[in-house]
Chain A
Amino acid sequence: MRQFRNMAMPYIVWMVVMIVLPMLLIMLYAFTDQGNDVATIRFTLENFTRFFSDKVFMSVLKRSLYIAVVTTVICIFLGYPIAYVIANRSEKSKMFWILLITLPTWINMLVRTYAWMGILQDEGIINWLLGFLGIGPITMIHTTFAVVLGMVYNFVPFMILQIYTALTKMDKSFLEAASDLGANKVQSFLRVTLPLSLPGVISGITLVFLPAVSSFFIPKLLGGGQYVLIGNVIETEFLTSGDWNFGSAISLAMAVIIMISMYITKKVDNDPTANGKGE
């Protein structure tokens, strides 16, 4: 046993250096300001009060959460049926479809988002095609539609893969038992498949919601300069403004908000599973 513990050391060192230390640094920055000539570090809560008392920042926060929720919901409704269909195919066909789903993620996200810029532009390919039908041009770039589309496109594979894994891991004998007991297809889906795949949906939500709420280049490219989400504010504070303390405070506040929402999701998750198991 002791030998195994030693083997974990490299991982522990790695995690401390790469995860714990940066987190601590962000916390240190968040609770301090740049100080004056006498003291170089001064502890303060000012960064947080400045963020939460500002109407504009709060509306940006609201918009970011709203966009992330919309993206996540669309990903669930889009991803679940796709994952369900794939999971019920033959072994060979499964591999092929999963490969197709993951293929785009092999290409850099930035490149794919730039491609959408070209597609959605006023003189882009969609409007060009619409032109033949005598419609348009319809302005799509620099709208909420474009931002949500970009996010759904980039993040939906994560949702599909999670749900797919949960569905394929499911014990098929439950379904047989359900039909033995007289459940029709809809009933057995609602009372067996859905509850058993919920853990997959929950981890899918985590994987989609997290990047969606903090993404800054998708709103920047597809939403235009006027589309400001919280990730853009953090980027400005770090790169343009150079106010690392305030930027860290916003990052930390976001981390806490996300942790709380994850906690709530987990809670919600626990209830229907208990119900679904028919105890």
Chain B
Amino acid sequence: MKKIIALALGAALLLSGCGGSNSSAAEAEEKYGSSTLKLYNWGEYMGENLISNFEDEFGVKVIVEYFDSNEMMYTKLQAGDAYDVLVPSDYMIERLISENMLQKLDLSKVANISNLAEGVKHLPYDPDNTYSAPYFWGNVGIVYNHNNVDPAEVEKLGYSILKDETYKGRIYVYDSERDSFMMALKALGYSMNTEDEGEVEAAYNWLLEMNNTMDPAYVTDEVIDGMINGNKDIAVVYSGDAATILDENEDMSFFLPMEGTNLWSDAMVIPANAENPLLAHEFINYVLTYDASYDNSETVGYPSSNQEVLDDMSAADGIYGENEAYLPRTDYDKDEVFEDNPVLKQKLAELWIKVKASH
């Protein structure tokens, strides 16, 4: 394995050499028509050196803005803001494609697309990578403190452990309508993409009951610090965050419920109104290289979309070799990818705030 790393490193060095490592802004201007790239990404979602390395290597300047929800990004995009690269999630990409808000990728300029991990190939929202190149991916599962919660119990109950009053006041639930309804629908044995009103109603009641009996804390990123500090015993989290938590606190374990979960992915896309599509392609290609992807995954803890990085990190001697949360579960028939359904989403958003508001 070490050999492969060395080889890859060598190849990367060679490649960067070809690209002209000390490119100047003027050269970039000539080659791409501009020397600035506008990137719109999630907060705390990039490797420490990703941007500076890219800037040095291609002699360009990257302007980064951050969003904390797909909807926020969508609202800004609709308001006419122009970015060169976005990193939205699966269902949002589906919507952007259907609304003609994205450019097709010129795959001849994204040679590294061949590095894609098996788990993120042929994703239903864009099976041939016509518009998108995966960035990070993962599942949603349960992190629990194995000193206070019996692992056998977690495995037996799955999501229903969130309704077990033994753990009242000791749970974190992710504050997003998508993830909470996913959990409720899966717990009830339904598809998380259901359009059946009865099933949605049942999930709503499931969540209401949890809200009224369990005194849960609804959090987003606070869940990471909360679980690292051991404030609560059970939390529903993204597998990438779970990997970070497990890294920092040995008392924590991770479990993917057998009722199924969400197989999600965030991918890089180029909006239709991008001003520098050429440079955008270069950036996307760069992120898919071994080095950049390794940097990303090492810093953030989310699974890489590069198969080689994924293999190396999850190998026995890799940095996530002993981390049960790092490698996502694939090929399980109860796991699903979110589909875009604006009408349903609007309804779920409203039901979710009602769940939280009822005491």
Q: Are A224 and B219 in contact (CB under 8 A)?
A: yes
Nearest-neighbour CB distance to chain B for A83, whole angstroms, equals: 36
> Using an 8 Å CB-CB cutoff, how does the interface string of B336-359 with A read, 1 for contact, 0 for none?
000000100110011001101110
Q: Are A224 and B218 in contact (CB under 8 A)?
A: yes
A residues less than 8 Å from B346 (CB atoms): 241-243
CA A75 to CA B175, docked complex, whole Å: 32
> Using an 8 Å CB-CB cutoff, how does the interface string of A42-82 with B read, 1 for contact, 0 for none?
00000000000010110110000000000000000000000
B residues less than 8 Å from A142 (CB atoms): 217
> Using an 8 Å CB-CB cutoff, how does the interface string of B64-75 with A read, 1 for contact, 0 for none?
000001011001
Q: Are A226 and B353 in contact (CB under 8 A)?
A: no
Q: Is A228 among interface residues, defined by CB-CB distance under 8 A?
A: yes
Nearest-neighbour CB distance to chain B for A272, whole angstroms, equals: 38
CA A224 to CA B172, docked complex, whole Å: 11
Task: Say whether, besides A60-B357, A239-B75, A226 and B217 are in contact (CB < 8 Å).
Answer: yes
CA A122 to CA B170, docked complex, whole Å: 14
CA A123 to CA B69, docked complex, whole Å: 28
Q: Are A236 and B349 in contact (CB under 8 A)?
A: yes
Q: Is B229 among interface residues, defined by CB-CB distance under 8 A?
A: yes
> Using an 8 Å CB-CB cutoff, how does the interface string of A138-166 with B read, 1 for contact, 0 for none?
00001000000000000000000000000
> Using an 8 Å CB-CB cutoff, how does the interface string of A225-265 with B read, 1 for contact, 0 for none?
11010001100110111110000000000000000000000
Q: Are B231 and A239 in contact (CB under 8 A)?
A: no
B residues less than 8 Å from A122 (CB atoms): 231
The residue that A225 contacts in the complex, of B69, B218, B229, B345, with Cβ under 8 A, is B218
CA A59 to CA B345, docked complex, whole Å: 24
Nearest-neighbour CB distance to chain B for A56, whole angstroms, equals: 4
Task: Say whether, besides A240-B349, A241-B349, A56 and B175 are in contact (CB < 8 Å).
Answer: no
A residues less than 8 Å from B59 (CB atoms): none
Q: Are A232 and B353 in contact (CB under 8 A)?
A: yes
Q: Is B177 among interface residues, defined by CB-CB distance under 8 A?
A: yes
Interface size on B, residues (CB 8 A): 24
The residue that B71 contacts in the complex, of A226, A232, A240, with Cβ under 8 A, is A240
Q: Is B257 among interface residues, defined by CB-CB distance under 8 A?
A: no
Nearest-CB residue, chain B, relative to A233: B353
Nearest-neighbour CB distance to chain A for B329, whole angstroms, equals: 27
CB proximity to B under 8 Å, residues A192-244: 224-226, 228, 232-233, 236-237, 239-243
Nearest-CB residue, chain A, relative to B176: A240
CA A122 to CA B281, docked complex, whole Å: 47
Nearest-CB residue, chain B, relative to A230: B357
> Using an 8 Å CB-CB cutoff, how does the interface string of B205-222 with A read, 1 for contact, 0 for none?
000000100001111100
Q: Are A226 and B218 in contact (CB under 8 A)?
A: yes
Residue among A59, A60, A236, A240 having the largest count of chain B Cβ atoms under 10 Å: A240
B residues less than 8 Å from A224 (CB atoms): 217-219
CA A86 to CA B356, docked complex, whole Å: 43
Task: Say whether, besides A123-B229, A240-B349, A228 and B71 are in contact (CB < 8 Å).
Answer: no
Nearest-CB residue, chain A, relative to B174: A225
Q: Are A225 and B350 in contact (CB under 8 A)?
A: no
A residues less than 8 Å from B218 (CB atoms): 224-226
Residue among B216, B342, B345, B346 having the largest count of chain A Cβ atoms under 10 Å: B346
Nearest-CB residue, chain A, relative to B348: A241
Q: Are A239 and B175 in contact (CB under 8 A)?
A: no
Q: Are B349 and A226 in contact (CB under 8 A)?
A: no
CA A233 to CA B175, docked complex, whole Å: 14
CA A240 to CA B92, docked complex, whole Å: 12
The residue that B69 contacts in the complex, of A57, A233, A237, A240, with Cβ under 8 A, is A240
B residues less than 8 Å from A57 (CB atoms): 354, 357
B residues less than 8 Å from A226 (CB atoms): 211, 216-218, 356
The residue that A56 contacts in the complex, of B75, B216, B220, B357, with Cβ under 8 A, is B357
Nearest-neighbour CB distance to chain A for B125, whole angstroms, equals: 19
A residues less than 8 Å from B175 (CB atoms): 225
Q: Are B357 and A233 in contact (CB under 8 A)?
A: yes
Nearest-neighbour CB distance to chain A for B75, whole angstroms, equals: 7
Residue among B175, B219, B342, B353 having the largest count of chain A Cβ atoms under 10 Å: B353
Nearest-neighbour CB distance to chain B for A160, whole angstroms, equals: 33
CB proximity to B under 8 Å, residues A9-65: 54, 56-57, 59-60
CA A243 to CA B71, docked complex, whole Å: 12
CA A242 to CA B177, docked complex, whole Å: 13
Nearest-CB residue, chain B, relative to A236: B353
Nearest-neighbour CB distance to chain A for B345, whole angstroms, equals: 8
Nearest-neighbour CB distance to chain A for B94, whole angstroms, equals: 16
Pull 18 A–B residue pairs with CB atoms less than 8 Å apart, ordered by A. A56-B357, A59-B358, A123-B229, A224-B217, A224-B218, A225-B175, A225-B217, A226-B216, A226-B217, A226-B356, A236-B350, A236-B353, A237-B350, A240-B69, A240-B71, A241-B346, A242-B75, A243-B346
Please report A residues at the B interface, Cβ cutoff 8 Å. Answer: 54, 56-57, 59-60, 122-123, 142, 224-226, 228, 232-233, 236-237, 239-243
